[in-house]
């Protein structure tokens, strides 16, 4: 789910980032209200400097204190549904194991009833997993976009003050992105995260001894053969 979510998320993030940067070609524009609708432009504004910098937008958003706090809160919010799906999946696997080990000992009616239960529960689980994934992706995208929208002016201001002519996103590796190679000296990810944390005023999360894990969904049990034994 994680990689699928990030591809979907970053596709929207790039569009938003492009539109926001297009509105920040001058200093006054950087202070525009974050609630304003992004200009329908695909042109990235460039600065007057001479350097080209890089930023990993994905790492920047998830690395902020606000991002860690809000994504952890979302993970906890979705955890009960995740546990429900795991319980459904465990029940399905138990029925499939029963069919595999006892199918040849059941009479025709009992076996047909067990097969029907498996098919019904698998369809129900598949629908539940799909709904959970879509809902989780939408909520994660909402958090990501909200933070990114507030981060865009921070990136532009830092780039302008540091003499950068352009900042490119390195979230996706080549060949998924056109960036073949870049050095660490021009990367502003950590600087932007630090600036954003200072501006947001959100304190660093209390260490728990374990990193926040992305919300995942159980893989539905693979259907076993339901053909009657020969």
Please report the pLDDT score of residue 104 as a whole number. Answer: 84
pLDDT digits (tens, 9 = 90+) for 141-185: 999 999 999 999 999 999 999 999 999 999 998 888 888 888 888
To 10 degrees, what angle do helices 189-200 and 108-161 make? 90
Q: Which domain holds residue 162?
A: 2-200
Look up the pTM and report it: 0.67
Domain-embedded: residue 163: yes
Kindly state the tokens that stand for 32: 């525009």
* Residue 214 belongs to a domain: no
DSSP 154-171: HHHHHHHHTTEEEEEE-S
Let me know if residue 219 belongs to a domain: no
| Counted domains in the chain | 1
Residue with tokens 């950590």: 190
Q: Which segments in the chain show pLDDT lower than 70?
A: 1-49, 208-230
Kindly give the pairing relationship between strand 164-169 and strand 51-55: parallel
Tokens in use for 120? 């019904």
**C-alpha radius of gyration, the chain, whole number:** 24
């Amino acid at each position: 789910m994680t990689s699928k979510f990030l591809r979907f998320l970053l596709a929207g993030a790039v569009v938003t980032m492009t539109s926001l940067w297009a509105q920040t070609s001058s200093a006054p524009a950087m202070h525009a209200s974050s609630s304003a609708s992004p200009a329908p432009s695909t042109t990235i504004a460039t600065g007057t400097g001479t350097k080209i910098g890089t930023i990993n937008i994905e790492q920047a958003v998830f690395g902020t204190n606000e991002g860690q706090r809000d994504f952890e809160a979302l993970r906890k919010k979705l955890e009960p549904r995740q546990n429900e799906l795991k319980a459904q999946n465990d029940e399905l696997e138990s029925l499939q194991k029963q069919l595999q080990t006892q199918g040849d000992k059941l009479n025709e009616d009992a076996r047909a009833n067990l097969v029907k239960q498996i098919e019904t529960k698998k369809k129900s689980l598949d629908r539940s997993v799909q709904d959970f994934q879509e809902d989780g992706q939408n909520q994660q995208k909402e958090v990501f976009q909200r933070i990114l929208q507030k981060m865009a002016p921070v990136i532009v201001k830092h780039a302008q003050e540091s003499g950068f002519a352009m900042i490119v996103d390195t979230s996706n590796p080549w060949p998924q992105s056109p960036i073949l190679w870049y050095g660490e000296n021009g990367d502003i990810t950590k600087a932007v995260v630090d600036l954003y944390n200072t501006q947001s005023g959100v304190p660093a999360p209390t260490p728990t001894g374990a990193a926040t894990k992305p919300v995942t969904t159980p893989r539905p049990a693979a259907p076993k053969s339901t053909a009657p034994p020969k």
